[in-house]
Chain A
Amino acid sequence: MENATARLRVLALLVVLMFLALSTRLWFLQVLASQAFEGEARRNSIRYEYTDPVRGRILDANGKQLVINQPSRELQITPDQLGNKGDAVVLDVSKLTGVPVRTIVRELQNTRYVASQAIPVAEFVPEKARLFIAEHPQRFPGVQVVPTAVRSYPYSRMAAHLFGYVHLIDQEHLKQLQGEGYGPNDIVGFGGLEESYETYLHGKRGKQTLYVNSDGETIGKGVARPPTAGDDLRLTLNAHIQQVAERSLLEGMARARTYHDATGNYLRADAGAVVVLDAKTGGVVAMASEPGYNPEWYVKGFTPAQYNYLFKNSKVGASLNRAIQTDYTPGSTYKPITALAAVKEHIASLSGQYPCVGQYKHPNDTSGAVFNNWTDVNLGYMSIATALEKSCDTVFDAFGSDFYFKYANNPLGEDVLQRDLRQWGFEQSTGIDLPGETPGLVPDPAWASTRPDIFENGAWIPGGDILTMIGSGYVQVTPLQLARAYAAIANGGHLCQPHLVDQIVGADGSVVKKVTGHCDQMIPYTPLELDYIRRALQTVVTGGTAQCAFQGFPLSRIAVAGKTGTAERETGKQDTSWFASMVGPDPANPQYVIVTMVEQGGFGGQTAAPITRQIIDGIYPNIGDASHPSCTTPDR
């Protein structure tokens, strides 16, 4: 059997090789690559069930509810599960819910969503419709009616631009927010405060761990985490003043439409904005933008007319918040700021006297450019205060020439005028807690070099500085930027970061976060200089361009200082009407800054100033006489 022994050894060797192969592979699987497999095993067997959190409310400064939640039955359609019945299902759903077929199709085809997502197409579905759908699952594949909470707006259309809306999360947001516990069926805020404070408002969804077998059946449950309600936002906004501002703006616009422009056409006055700031903190007390819309449209689904009005008709632009998302030529409301720049750069002094001629020409200019004052009468020499009161352009034109000479003689090629203006926060976002702010424009030599279409060879010209001095030409500001600058004049030089939210309050009433005023930034002017400007602007109301609007107003009890603006626009558009003001019982210490702007509203003293007067009457109800003088005089 000697041979057999050797042959059995061969057999044994083969067996040993088998064991070696198995052990090596097991070592790789279970020791080296084990971690990856552990993860896969976990993903395999564990599913999570989520409960939506209650979204935080939005309250005004006095605790009045502006945005709340309301229970609803929501109809959702999952496009993936429609099969070949898509058309029939959409038709049936439309009949049941009254939502137009177009609207449903538009939502379903919205590329922002994944086809496996349950897309909400109708709210407040009647119980009868819910039952019908539940009883005919064959007829409604991929359709479900679920109880949800939707946004509700007790003040209806008020402040719609500030809130934004909530909707099913889209792919882009899901990618960003997945790490923070968001899932594909989460509701998130779009636009306005809903977007800015999404992380606070949203809350945390509840989570229940389920152990699932390979058939998807639940075998057991883990520890449940209940949902955490979102935090409430307590705003600086005052619902009463907001209502007053919106109503005054609408009425003022309607009034303006009865006036004629210089060519005899009615003013269009089809859009406008009002900003009311707390002068000391930068808190937004009211922010109105017209035309507006009702945020409930987002909840209930748009009618085709509503949809076109909001999104298709770019002329209306109702979804724009004109206080921050559109920039405008400021006109003469810019003059207090440019005047201070002239003083700072020793071009002018507060004690100086300057000629207010009918027409101004830049010295040694050969181009023939002429800058007209609003009157061709020579008003003689006047102080800066009087120049503001009368809104004399030519005084400022001359300052502009001097700024240009400074620029021309500056070896660094810098124009100090624009530097000084930017110190007021122009051409920058104010940092308000709302998305989509536009920065505006302070035209300067560098900008000119990028616009050879406007400036010959891209070269800066005297007219650039001259027009900027009177807030004309290419200067662009938002009403909020202007309000912020006026607040700095009012509060002694603090350039505040405007904000809508005062504090964030947890569901249990505790303060999660307090948004204190960020007013550390200072403008480089002495209190004396700012005081001079404020006093000068008081004369605008008593005897200047806004005199008519404030006829009969008890200025001794509520001091008003302001500046009108009438900004020319491109051919075919009527002037933008402005009034920027500081208001309060203490003339040296204004409480509010109010900026009113009406697109194609004509003269500042004609449209914007009376609207502001009406707002002030509403803010101090027992003081005003509530008269609304008609000011058709061409006060600039």
Chain B
Amino acid sequence: MDLVAGRTFAQERRPVRHVDWFLIVLACALSAVGLLLLYSATSQTLRQDGLDPFTRVNKQAFTIGLGIVVVIVMMSFDYRFLKIYSGFIYLGSILALVLVRIPGLGATDSTGTAQRWFEIAGFQITPSEFTKLALIVMLGAVLAGIRTSEPTLADVGKVLLISMVPLALVFLQPDIGTSISIVAIVVGMLIVAGTRLRHLLVLTVVGVVAITLVFQSGAIEDFQRERLKVFLDPSSVSADVRYNLDQSLIAVGSGGLLGKGYLQGSQTNLDYVPEQHTDFIFTVAGEEFGFVGAMALLVLFALLLWRAIRIAWLAKDPFGTYVAAGIASMFAIQMFVNIGMVIGIMPITGIPLPFLSYGGTSILVSFAAIGLLENIHMRRFT
């Protein structure tokens, strides 16, 4: 290895040379589509109320800009530091989850049933969103510390214990959507860590029993029970709950093959789908751009997940692999549960669609996750 070549090699090893630009482009493309759909979903109603039709789009665009900054910040340090500080990060997120439950600190929604965000300078900060990332980092560190070829039962137990704390707190908020995400993240990371199938099956049984017990105990709110019932037995629930799903299906179904055209969707324009700019943003794509548009959106997500899993594979160390795999699991479950509920194959749980749903914290956490992925990708040689 001569000096010149060595120098070239050294230069090649500089992290900034190994940014996954494709991943950045995908995240930006999804965000841009999100803004487009958001305008269609909100402009008509805002104009009707005498407000600037761009009000929501502007706010979301600002958040996306902030998200880019977050990406740069997340890329700027070596992700392996996170492994060292994972315990603090984890505890910090737990603290936030506890604080948001304290009356006066956390804000309640209009119905007063859920208390899950801080109101800071007009922005809603939802700590449970950050919890997901914090847990990924924490579990990544724990799993990377395993010296055996595969996690022992004790290791699995440790992982479960660590996960149960934030899961319980999120579940009690109540936030079933994030709870599902956390479960998926844990399962995804355990799979990649090489957990035996037997252990995973036991875990599944325990999970099912736990969920049944929780439902029986009455720990969850009525509206959540209703939402799950509409999925399991559509005829048994009240018209209000049924309405949400019906209107969503009408919107997507009436889009047909090619859609009604941008800003031409009657369901969208006339405000028929509740929560259309947040959890049900996908209906806009389905109605106005049809099957072709919806599939195009799915392709964007597929490419994003491919890049994430690829980064997990390329990562230099197990910690990077586990963190990237956790992030891939998070994006995958959120996409699947969100779109699945919009088109009626998953229960309505209130889970945002990454990069598209209106909402500050969700966007910021999604970009933070992209930054982490880039971090791992960039430093795969160093």
Report whether B48 and A11 are in contact in the complex, using a CB–CB cutoff of 8 Å. no
B-contact bits for A21-53, CB 8 A (1 contact / 0 none): 111011101110110111011101110000000
Q: How far is the CA of A8 from the CA of B328 in the complex (A)?
A: 10
Q: How far is the CA of A4 from the CA of B151 in the complex (A)?
A: 13
- Asked, given contacts A22-B343, A29-B252, A37-B250, whether A214 binds B193 with beta carbons under 8 Å apart, the answer is no
- Asked, given contacts A30-B286, A37-B249, A213-B270, whether A5 binds B313 with beta carbons under 8 Å apart, the answer is yes
Stretch in B112-120, B163-171, B175-183, B254-262 touching the partner: B254-262
Report whether A22 and B194 are in contact in the complex, using a CB–CB cutoff of 8 Å. no
B298 CB contacts on chain A under 8 angstroms: 19, 22-23, 26
Q: Chain B: interface secondary structure?
A: helix
- Asked, given contacts A8-B192, A40-B250, whether A25 binds B345 with beta carbons under 8 Å apart, the answer is yes
Smallest Cβ-Cβ distance to A10: which chain B residue: B191
B162 CB contacts on chain A under 8 angstroms: none
- Shortest A531–chain B CB gap in Å is 76
Q: Which of B243-270 contact A (CB under 8 A)?
A: 247, 249-257, 266-267, 269-270
Q: How far is the CA of A360 from the CA of B354 in the complex (A)?
A: 109
Q: How far is the CA of A45 from the CA of B273 in the complex (A)?
A: 12
Report whether A30 and B332 are in contact in the complex, using a CB–CB cutoff of 8 Å. no
- Asked, given contacts A27-B291, A212-B270, whether A34 binds B344 with beta carbons under 8 Å apart, the answer is no
B294 within 8 A of A: yes
Q: How far is the CA of A343 from the CA of B313 in the complex (A)?
A: 115
Q: Which of A1-25 contact B (CB under 8 A)?
A: 1, 3-5, 7-8, 10-12, 14-15, 18-19, 21-23, 25
- Asked, given contacts A4-B313, A26-B286, whether A11 binds B302 with beta carbons under 8 Å apart, the answer is no
B364 within 8 A of A: no
A365 within 8 A of B: no
**Most B C-beta atoms less than 10 A away, residue of A22, A31, A33, A36:** A22
- Asked, given contacts A11-B191, A15-B332, A45-B272, whether A31 binds B257 with beta carbons under 8 Å apart, the answer is yes
- Shortest A40–chain B CB gap in Å is 5
A34 CB contacts on chain B under 8 angstroms: 253-257
A-contact bits for B332-348, CB 8 A (1 contact / 0 none): 10011001100111000
B312 CB contacts on chain A under 8 angstroms: 4, 8, 11
B349 within 8 A of A: no
- Asked, given contacts A41-B267, A44-B272, whether A29 binds B44 with beta carbons under 8 Å apart, the answer is no
- Asked, given contacts A15-B305, A41-B251, A44-B250, whether A25 binds B271 with beta carbons under 8 Å apart, the answer is no
Interface extent on B, as a size class? 35 or more
Smallest Cβ-Cβ distance to A41: which chain B residue: B254
Report whether A18 and B336 are in contact in the complex, using a CB–CB cutoff of 8 Å. yes
- Shortest B241–chain A CB gap in Å is 16
Report whether A30 and B272 are in contact in the complex, using a CB–CB cutoff of 8 Å. no
A474 within 8 A of B: no
Residue in A25, A26, A214 whose CB lies within 8 Å of B270: A214
Smallest Cβ-Cβ distance to B47: which chain A residue: A219
Smallest Cβ-Cβ distance to A22: which chain B residue: B339
Smallest Cβ-Cβ distance to B345: which chain A residue: A25
B53 within 8 A of A: no
A190 within 8 A of B: no
Residue in A4, A19, A36, A215 whose CB lies within 8 Å of B253: A36
B-contact bits for A213-235, CB 8 A (1 contact / 0 none): 11101010000000000000000
Residue in A11, A26, A37, A212 whose CB lies within 8 Å of B294: A26
- Shortest A469–chain B CB gap in Å is 73
Q: Which of A261-299 contact B (CB under 8 A)?
A: none
A211 within 8 A of B: yes
Smallest Cβ-Cβ distance to B335: which chain A residue: A18
- Shortest A4–chain B CB gap in Å is 6
Q: How far is the CA of A555 from the CA of B256 in the complex (A)?
A: 84
Residue in A8, A21, A29, A217 whose CB lies within 8 Å of B313: A8
- Asked, given contacts A3-B194, A214-B272, whether A26 binds B266 with beta carbons under 8 Å apart, the answer is no
Residue in A21, A26, A40 whose CB lies within 8 Å of B295: A26
Q: Which of B316-369 contact A (CB under 8 A)?
A: 318, 321, 325, 328-329, 332, 335-336, 339-340, 343-345
- Asked, given contacts A41-B266, A45-B270, whether A30 binds B328 with beta carbons under 8 Å apart, the answer is no
- Asked, given contacts A3-B194, A19-B298, A40-B250, whether A214 binds B271 with beta carbons under 8 Å apart, the answer is yes
Q: How far is the CA of A349 from the CA of B208 in the complex (A)?
A: 106
- Asked, given contacts A26-B343, A27-B291, whether A8 binds B266 with beta carbons under 8 Å apart, the answer is no
Residue in B266, B291, B329, B340 whose CB lies within 8 Å of A31: B291
Q: How far is the CA of A10 from the CA of B259 in the complex (A)?
A: 35
Q: How far is the CA of A38 from the CA of B253 in the complex (A)?
A: 7
- Shortest A78–chain B CB gap in Å is 22
B309 within 8 A of A: yes
- Asked, given contacts A36-B253, A37-B249, whether A45 binds B267 with beta carbons under 8 Å apart, the answer is yes
- Asked, given contacts A7-B194, A41-B266, whether A12 binds B256 with beta carbons under 8 Å apart, the answer is no
A10 CB contacts on chain B under 8 angstroms: 191-192
Report whether B254 and A8 are in contact in the complex, using a CB–CB cutoff of 8 Å. no
B67 within 8 A of A: no
B302 CB contacts on chain A under 8 angstroms: 15, 19
Report whether A1 and B257 are in contact in the complex, using a CB–CB cutoff of 8 Å. no
Q: How far is the CA of A40 from the CA of B252 in the complex (A)?
A: 11
Q: Which of A37-93 contact B (CB under 8 A)?
A: 37-38, 40-42, 44-46
- Asked, given contacts A19-B302, A29-B249, A213-B272, whether A42 binds B335 with beta carbons under 8 Å apart, the answer is no
**Most B C-beta atoms less than 10 A away, residue of A27, A31, A219:** A219
B301 CB contacts on chain A under 8 angstroms: 19
B318 CB contacts on chain A under 8 angstroms: 4
Report whether A219 and B267 are in contact in the complex, using a CB–CB cutoff of 8 Å. no
Report whether A22 and B329 are in contact in the complex, using a CB–CB cutoff of 8 Å. no
- Shortest A477–chain B CB gap in Å is 61
Smallest Cβ-Cβ distance to A44: which chain B residue: B272
Smallest Cβ-Cβ distance to A17: which chain B residue: B336
A12 CB contacts on chain B under 8 angstroms: 306, 309
User: What are 11 A-B pairs at a CB distance below 8 A?
Assistant: A3-B150, A4-B313, A15-B309, A15-B332, A25-B340, A29-B343, A30-B252, A34-B253, A212-B270, A213-B48, A213-B270
Interface positions of B (Cβ within 8 A of A): 44-45, 48, 149-150, 188, 191-194, 247, 249-257, 266-267, 269-272, 286-287, 290-291, 294-295, 298, 301-302, 305-306, 309, 312-313, 318, 321, 325, 328-329, 332, 335-336, 339-340, 343-345
Extra pairs beyond A8-B309, A11-B328, A214-B272 (19, CB < 8 Å): A15-B309, A18-B335, A19-B298, A22-B298, A22-B339, A26-B286, A29-B286, A30-B255, A30-B290, A34-B255, A36-B253, A40-B253, A41-B251, A41-B267, A45-B267, A45-B269, A45-B272, A211-B266, A213-B44
